[in-house]
A and B are shown apart, each in its own frame.
Chain A
Amino acid sequence: MAVSDAAPIISTRLARPDGHTLAGYEATRGYTALRKALGMGPDAVLEEVKAANLQGRGGAGFPAGAKWSFLPKDVFPRYFVVNGDESEPGTSKDRPLMERDPHQLIEGLLISCFAVRAAQAFIYVRGEMALAQERLATALNEAYAAGYVGRDIMGSGWSLDIVLHWGAGAYIVGEETALIESLEGQRGMPRLKPPFFPAAKGLYLQPTVVNNVETLSNIPWIVTHGGAAFAALGTEKAAGTRLFALSGHVRRPGVYEVEMGTTTFRDLVEAPVYGGGIRHGNKLKAFIPGGASAPWFYPEQLDLALDASVVGPAGSMLGSGAVVIMDDTTCAVRAAWRLVRFFAHESCGKCTPCREGGAWLEKILRRILDGHGREDDIELLLDVGDNISPGPFPHPPLDGVAAVPFPFKQTTICPLGPSAVSPIHSSILRFRDEYLIHIKDGRCHLG
């Protein structure tokens, strides 16, 4: 059982009662990385982050240093936006970071803005997270008063304002171009890329970096210890540690910081310090390895490492670090329906395949669950899915059929539509018999 003995990087203050206060943060090396960064200069900081090979922790997994390097030279002002709109079902790791260690995020943001010479920063926090809003507001007020944010930061002559921004309930705003639209006071609908890559034409059509909360929370450690020290953790392709939200049918659901690449799904589910095994001694049926959008894995994939370069070719994604465990008391049709209902509800309505297709998928699944399923409904579900995500859909190897690697193809601007196909494809692929019992007998196989 591989349980890393590496010291945690970003979760060190989550259990500290005063971890969210300025006093608690300063007592634990808080804002020393900012001072160091200010002495290093922007370019040296950027090089350290590049050397760290820090992959984005929001879902897409794009390296942060490379993302920053895409900013066109000499185009100013530039903006920096924190994506705190965590809402992918199964995911609950940015919220604890914002609630219990807001200064770590603020310090990471300050250093990042210094490195890319941003003019202003915005922390976009999901509207429903009232406590995160309050903790971040308090932390920003403290940091402004203490001279860490605002005019002439720590007497360095460098200035930066950070604005705390509120969302108002829309999953799609987690997509970075939709988040920018929302931050401009618009409906949160994704923009077409190209031309609207945030690095080129982002907020107010200026060069913009959008980074996830967890991604930025790593930056103070990287500056303190160096990019090489970070890259030395995990594996070559998956550096550092990462927070995983483990939920569902395990004995010990929780948010765990684990070393990337060297830890497996089995470790996460079974190790006593993590999940502690499936509850009640039940059997594992299936699990979602990276949030609701990810194609499902089955017991055969338990020994895969927590590494995007391993999980992707195996037919799914690590996504947002959300691992949802389903034991053998789970109805696959009901689980699929609930996930599809989410995507149908959260479609922004911009692209027809997602807006119409998602709604129809949900209705068809609902009628199957209600005992009114038709014989050709399974093929109909797959056909509607094929219109949203054409061609072979990502899935793990199964019954002699090779894996189809992630990502999916899409007929839509953003991946929300194809995400609705994941639970459908995954459940039909492995649990077609459960669908047939629902359709033919009008009941669940569980009775």
Chain B
Amino acid sequence: MSRLSPDNEELARTIIGRYPRSRSALIPLLHVAQEQEGWVSRDAMAHIAELLGITPAEVLGTCSFYGMFKLEPVGRYVVGVCTNISCLLLGGEELLEHCEARLGVKAGATTDDGMFTLEDVECIAACTDAPCLQVNYRYFLNITHDQVDALFDDLRAGRRTDEVPVHGTLTRVRQHVAPERWSGHGAEGLPLPPGQAR
């Protein structure tokens, strides 16, 4: 439950600098906060509000709209099983039931050891590889029940961590632009909103 670390605050300022208007950086900054702690705390939201010059309520207003942002701690691995139409037709519901039995929790809950949070998710755009699931937004396609068991065992034992980072780490590669390559033309001539100074 903390503000952004100094490194992440610097990263946040870099991200903000890429947009003609700073508030556009809000969702990327919420991802940075979630990467730091695995969820988005009120302190992190207050810090982001300071960085963007908006209120914490405005940050929460946006944050609470989007399903990926967790407003309370979740498991180290968030397992999202797709049960939407293409997966439904090929065993998505049975896959979810198997995960529930294997982890001992219902969809929406976290295991007692804090290792897994299980979710019944909407279509994850892997319809031609149904049934499928994601762990921390990494895909496991055409997955069988046996493969699910092996995957959970591996993750519990600390294996496959290079394949599946801990929850919050959305992208391990960030956009980097050398200052001399950045053109900075994006905001030129953009009118300011009423009441704001440049």
Contact = CB atoms under 8 A, between A and B. Distances in A.
Interface of A: 76-77, 79, 86-92, 94-95, 119-120, 126-131, 133-134, 137-138, 140-141, 144-145, 147, 149-152, 159-161, 163-171, 182-188, 204, 206, 245-249, 253-255, 288, 292, 322, 324-326, 330, 334-335, 338-339, 342, 345-346, 348
A335 B88 contact: yes
Interface string B177-190: 11011111111111
Contacts of A254: 128
Interface class of chain A by DSSP: mixed
B175 A140 contact: yes
Interface in B101-150: 122-130, 134, 136-139
Contacts of A185: 23-27, 52, 62
Contacts of A92: 125-129
Given A160-B185, A168-B69, A324-B89, A253 B128 contact: yes
A188 B185 contact: no
Contacts of B67: 168-170
8 contacts: A92-B129, A127-B31, A128-B137, A144-B177, A169-B68, A248-B130, A253-B127, A348-B65
A92 B189 CA distance: 38
A372 B122 CA distance: 25
A387 to B, nearest CB: 24
B62 to A, nearest CB: 6
B150 to A, nearest CB: 21
Interface residues of B, number: 62
Contact of A77 (B24, B68, B188): B188
Given A166-B170, A185-B23, A185-B27, A95 B125 contact: yes
A129 B130 contact: no
Interface string B89-106: 110000000000000000
Contacts of B69: 168-169
Given A247-B128, A248-B86, A338-B83, A167 B27 contact: yes
A333 B148 CA distance: 29
B198 interface: no
B180 to A, nearest CB: 7
Given A161-B183, A168-B27, 5 more contacts: A92-B127, A169-B69, A185-B62, A288-B85, A324-B127
Most chain A CB within 10 A, of B24, B26, B136, is at B24
Contact of A127 (B20, B170, B186, B188): B170
Contact of B23 (A160, A167, A184, A188): A184
Interface of B: 18-21, 23-28, 30-31, 52, 61-62, 65-69, 80, 83-86, 88-90, 122-130, 134, 136-139, 170-178, 180-190
B161 to A, nearest CB: 15
A144 B178 contact: yes
A182 B128 contact: no
Given A129-B137, A150-B182, A169-B66, A184 B24 contact: yes
Contacts of A160: 183, 185
Contact of B130 (A79, A164, A253): A253
Contacts of A127: 31, 66, 68, 137, 170
B190 to A, nearest CB: 6
Given A76-B189, A163-B19, A338 B125 contact: no
Contacts of A255: 128
A401 B116 CA distance: 52
Nearest to A140: B175
B183 A150 contact: yes
Contacts of B175: 137, 140-141, 163-164
A311 B144 CA distance: 36
Contacts of B30: 168
B89 A137 contact: no
What 8 pairs between A and B have smallest CB-CB spacing? A120-B186, A185-B26, A169-B67, A168-B66, A159-B183, A169-B68, A185-B23, A247-B86
A54 to B, nearest CB: 22
Contacts of A161: 18, 177, 182-186
Nearest to B85: A89
B123 A168 contact: no
Contacts of A248: 85-86, 89-90, 130
Contacts of B177: 141, 144, 150, 161
Nearest to B176: A141
Contacts of B181: 144-145, 147, 149-151
Contact of A183 (B24, B134, B176): B24
Contacts of B86: 89-90, 247-248, 253, 324
A204 B184 contact: no
Most chain A CB within 10 A, of B68, B83, B181, is at B181
B31 A86 contact: no
Nearest to B30: A168
Contacts of B125: 86-87, 91-92, 94-95, 126, 128-129
Contacts of B66: 127, 167-170, 188
